[in-house]
Chains A and B, each alone.
Chain A
Amino acid sequence: SQKIEQNSEALNIQEGKTATLTCNYTNYSPAYLQWYRQDPGRGPVFLLLIRENEKEKRKERLKVTFDTTLKQSLFHITASQPADSATYLCALGQTGANNLFFGTGTRLTVIP
């Protein structure tokens, strides 16, 4: 059966360090992968999209990698700040379809 797993439910990290979140999938062949941020009491907010033919994507302090052989995406936040504390969700999409399949999320806490 199809499964999307994010490395852990919760991750604590010291301010200034790089946070690395993992998204692993099985029985999918995604054409692209997205990362969203969700704050308590709010809906997810889109951060980055990476396509299957792209190895890496960057946006300011964010970096996403996509390895279709390992069936894994890594999401990095460099120079982390307490304001980065939130839940981060990965989502997989397939060619020709506009729906997404979401992972369960990782709750990141950046400690001052």
Chain B
Amino acid sequence: DAGVIQSPRHEVTEMGQEVTLRCKPISGHDYLFWYRQTMMRGLELLIYFNNNVPIDDSGMPEDRFSAKMPNASFSTLKIQPSEPRDSAVYFCASSHRLAGLYEQYFGPGTRLTVT
């Protein structure tokens, strides 16, 4: 398996622009997570899905952020409009609830810079 795939790997955009981050989870995994990582706040959970349904979006910072999972093999995280404080590394992770083990598999991340 190729693992969790994220695109793009790097994104540089100007304040006010729309940004879309993409994620393909590992085939067969029924949970998908979006995280944001910064030096100041560490790794923060933004939202997670189970079987394509959003379960907990309490970590989404504000209405400018939205996430979708139209099918089991694809998810997007959108920021509109983007702001400089959104600059961070965004990770997607997936997992499969098997025998009580909740190990998460992370993608390589998307480094977002908003100028």
Contact = CB atoms under 8 A, between A and B. Distances in A.
B14 interface: no
A98 B93 contact: no
Nearest to B6: A43
A34 B108 contact: no
Interface in B96-115: 97, 101-109
Contacts of A34: 102-103
A49 B101 contact: yes
Interface in B38-56: 41-45, 48, 50, 55-56
Interface of B: 4, 31, 33, 35, 41-45, 48, 50, 55-56, 91, 93, 95, 97, 101-109
Q: How large is the interface on A (under 10, 10 to 19, 20 to 34, 35 or more residues)?
A: 10 to 19
Interface string A36-52: 00000111111001000
Interface in A92-112: 93, 98-105
